Structure 1
Amino acid sequence: MSHLQARAVSTVEQAREIVEARGLSHVKVGMFDMDGVMRGKYMQRDKFLDALDKGFSFCDVVLGWDSKDELYDNVQYTGWHTGYPDAALKIVPESCRDLPFEGDMLLFLAEFDGAASDICPRGLLKRVLARAESLGFEVQGSLEYEFFLFQETPESVREKGFRNLKPLTPDMMGYSMLRSSVHSEIYHELLALAETMDFPIEGLHTETGPGVLEAAIGVDDALLAGDKGALFKTFTKVWAQRRNLMATFMAKWSPDYPGQSGHIHLSLNERDSGHSAFFDADKPHGMSDTQRHFVAGQQKLMPEFLAMFAPTINSYSRLIPGFWAPTEATWGVENRTCALRVIPGSDKSQRVEYRLGSADANPYLALAAAIGAGLYGIEQRLEPDAAVEGNAYTLTHPPHQMLPRTLWEAAGRLRQSDAARTLFGDAFVEHFAATREWEERQFRQHITDWELDRYFEII
């Protein structure tokens, strides 16, 4: 029997070896859709082994429906007009992971191939990283997520109509040693899961709010950081539900508490030397010219790319002053009131934190947008506005720093963005913008409790 470990698999031959050595009858294969929802299936062993060499096909509806399996009626790539044919996919051998809940079962990621690759979230990130490579850079990234845990099940939240939910713990207790010690078994289980599935958590602590945690995932090459973020969100929810708990990554579940962020830390290294492209000891705050241009690109394109960081109706409930979420395209040095936080350090640690993103964003798309915007700034040698000092929420900002206030507006800005089309391609921009407009249209079909309370009697 082979002693090959799942995370040591890097080739088709090794993937074949580990599946055969474990005597698996089936293998689990998954991919991520436009909303970052993991879709997939169990695949019979012989079919999986054949797919390692030849690829396989999957109904392209997974790129043509929303997070509730409702079919888009406004996209060109697929729909009733195409008959929802199969799309080509290829298995990513090096994504092999153990599934600790399922004995010896293995999980492999897949990504779309052929025409579908133009809109595949993982494929988009790969294209952006190829652009970085052509410029002489390697990108390192990590993701931080806030999420709430509830003493609820998928059945109970629906029975309650998503009201009066019981958080794991009460009250506002950020960085609480009391909470993490009383509930240490839960923390240890999640930390162990993250190690086993290779999205290791560097820091895990309570945030401000009842039952809310923040997890910082370890840094890695940006493509692998996308995999880690997407798998972390999926399997944290799996783990919680198997414990009769529920985890939510929606941007803001309650008007009474801060929203949930999905911060992105990024750094660039020079491919030739291996040294940081962001660090220059002779410049203020250690910011090299490259980092300055990178931040300038991120700042300039933030209003145009917002839909990729804030992709749901709910995302915009989070982007309000005073709740730790940025509201304009600002940057500062070690300033957490800004959308972009430059973190001075060394050749190993100089980086920028993209603080705008919410936890509901697709990790691949958020990374692609944050990195792509920065590369655009380097290519165009853009200069950022003056860094914010003090509280960015209390300052008056110029019009070009203002962010879209709704998903509909953000989708329109993305569609009109020449930079987005240059970086991401027309096919992706048209498809993703249309999916966000669909999301807004779905919302507008519903009457909220707020409207009923405000207008039913008095108007």
Structure 2
Amino acid sequence: MLAREVKTIEDAIAVVEASGLSHIKVGISDIDGVMRGKYVSKEKFTSILKGGLSFCNVVLGWDSNDQLYDNVQYTGWHTAYPDAQAHIIPESCRELPLEMVDGKPMLFFLGEFSGDAEPICPRQLLSRIVKKAADMGYLAYSALEYEFFVFKETPESVRAKNYQNLIPWTPGYFGYSILRSTVNADFYHQLLKLSETMDMGIEGLHTETGPGVLEAAIGVDEASSAGDKAFLFKTFCKVLAQQNNLMATFMAKWSHELPGQSGHIHLSLNEIKSGKSVFYDPTQPHNMSKTQRHFLAGVQRLLPEFMAMFAQTVNSYTRLVPGYWAPLDATWGVENRTTALRLIPGSAKSQRIEVRIGSADANPYLALAAALGAGLYGIEHEWEPEEMVVGNAYTQTFPDRLHLPNSLGDAAKRLKTSEAARSLFGSPFVEHFTATREWEEREFRKHVTDWELKRYFEII
């Protein structure tokens, strides 16, 4: 049996036993979307497939720099950091070709938190929203695409340089470059092959505008699997780069002189009973069905409230400035890349909505849950979208209700007070996640930036 044929616990045990490996690798998402994990012995792994495993609950209680949150209830010093329960997802089994053991690829499985940690587990959150769609009679499909910069650097060199004067993988602005992709074909083909082997296949890969920047469009799949694929891609793309003495970053914006990096989400719904698209209606303008219109309205209306789930770092908001392909208001348009939501008319198979507001640094489970959940909420309440934007949205003025938060602190406050968020995601998640975003904002305010030094040191 092949790794990607695993569906049950029994299948997983059989694959592990046949692998000849002494240990298996397990990965799980923290709040920021950073993959945390460990090796587990083959004997222990067989046991935890049936009985579950434990991670110290600090995995949900520290930031991306392993600093402990001081304002959360689920975890923290007051809990003495006990173990949180988790379980293995058998069908997530993959061979990891970047890690060979005696000529055999390491086996890798995803896990997710359960028990009292389940309400705040990112993967579980997406699963609950997918189940909500199913309860409404829908099967959700999604595809995520990421922009990321690549550098001729190592983890040691970027620190030695204090993250200044970094050398991009390729020079200049050269979007969709055949020259660049041919000269550097070896890494491209390694990434394409890795993505196919690990079942996170790339539909399109090309240079974007900026030195050393690439864009990868991951193939469409059911929403839960799409979240897994995006989560895996971000981690193992960085691993592959470092194994080639390169570094990839998914920061929303690493330089004020260059465009930011997006994490766009494509979404569609099919009816479970018939298997047909509920977004496609050829009798309506732009083939947009009533259901798609309500879905679009839900995402549009809730974008300002859910922004912290699409743009979850302080850095995310430096990307949201005019003229850099990042929307500033909760707007929509047909095939319009200046709006937050892009309606893409097509066939019954391709009719969809693209959520363009998300940044590459977002946790894919949370961003996808926010987009899908908002759309379902719009369907439930039969909301209607605002007037469609025609032309350049950056030059137009919109009502205050469509303005997006311009800082992480503001975004966290909006999410914390959102009735829709608590209804969709549960108060335990909303309280925990917004507390972590408030922490992130406070940590940033403790530091003096290079911009402040250059602007104020001598003159003021």
The normalised TM-score by structure 1 is: 0.99
- In structure 1, C-alpha distance between the alignment counterparts of 2:338 and 2:350, rounded to whole Å: 21
1:246 correspondence with 2:247: yes
Letter in structure 2 aligned against 1:60: N
- In structure 2, C-alpha distance between the alignment counterparts of 1:448 and 1:183, rounded to whole Å: 35
- In structure 2, C-alpha distance between the alignment counterparts of 1:375 and 1:310, rounded to whole Å: 21
- In structure 1, C-alpha distance between the alignment counterparts of 2:157 and 2:189, rounded to whole Å: 26
1:6 correspondence with 2:6: no
Return structure 1 stretches of 4+ with deviation > 3 angstroms. Answer: none
After superposition, the C-alpha distances for 1:155-179 in whole angstroms (9 at most, x for unaligned) are 0000001010000000000000100
Letter in structure 1 aligned against 2:166: L
Letter in structure 2 aligned against 1:65: W
Aligned to 2:99, which of 97, 102, 106? 102
**Partner of 2:181 in structure 1?**
180
Determine helix, strand or coil for the equivalent of 2:37.
Answer: strand
Q: How does 1:39-438 map to 2 (within 5 A)?
A: 39-103=36-100, 104-438=105-439
Report how many residues are paired. Answer: 456
- In structure 2, C-alpha distance between the alignment counterparts of 1:110 and 1:294, rounded to whole Å: 30
Determine helix, strand or coil for the equivalent of 1:272.
Answer: coil
After superposition, the C-alpha distances for 1:225-244 in whole angstroms (9 at most, x for unaligned) are 00000000000000000111
Determine helix, strand or coil for the equivalent of 2:98.
Answer: helix
Aligned to 2:14, which of 17, 23, 28? 17
- In structure 2, C-alpha distance between the alignment counterparts of 1:6 and 1:52, rounded to whole Å: 15
Percent of pairs with identical residues = 67
Letter in structure 1 aligned against 2:261: Q
Letter in structure 2 aligned against 1:405: N
- In structure 2, C-alpha distance between the alignment counterparts of 1:16 and 1:23, rounded to whole Å: 12
**Partner of 2:35 in structure 1?**
38
- In structure 1, C-alpha distance between the alignment counterparts of 2:209 and 2:120, rounded to whole Å: 37
- In structure 1, C-alpha distance between the alignment counterparts of 2:397 and 2:264, rounded to whole Å: 24
Determine helix, strand or coil for the equivalent of 2:278.
Answer: coil
- In structure 2, C-alpha distance between the alignment counterparts of 1:278 and 1:34, rounded to whole Å: 32
After superposition, the C-alpha distances for 1:194-223 in whole angstroms (9 at most, x for unaligned) are 001110000000000000000000000000
- In structure 2, C-alpha distance between the alignment counterparts of 1:451 and 1:320, rounded to whole Å: 19
After superposition, the C-alpha distances for 1:7-38 in whole angstroms (9 at most, x for unaligned) are 11111001000100112110001100000000
- In structure 2, C-alpha distance between the alignment counterparts of 1:392 and 1:102, rounded to whole Å: 46
CA RMSD of aligned residues (A): 0.5
Structure 1: segments with no counterpart, 5+ residues: none
Letter in structure 1 aligned against 2:85: A
Determine helix, strand or coil for the equivalent of 1:190.
Answer: helix
CA drift of 1:122 comes to 0.2
CA drift of 1:377 comes to 0.2
Letter in structure 1 aligned against 2:233: F
Determine helix, strand or coil for the equivalent of 1:100.
Answer: strand
The normalised TM-score by structure 2 is: 0.99
CA drift of 1:456 comes to 1.8
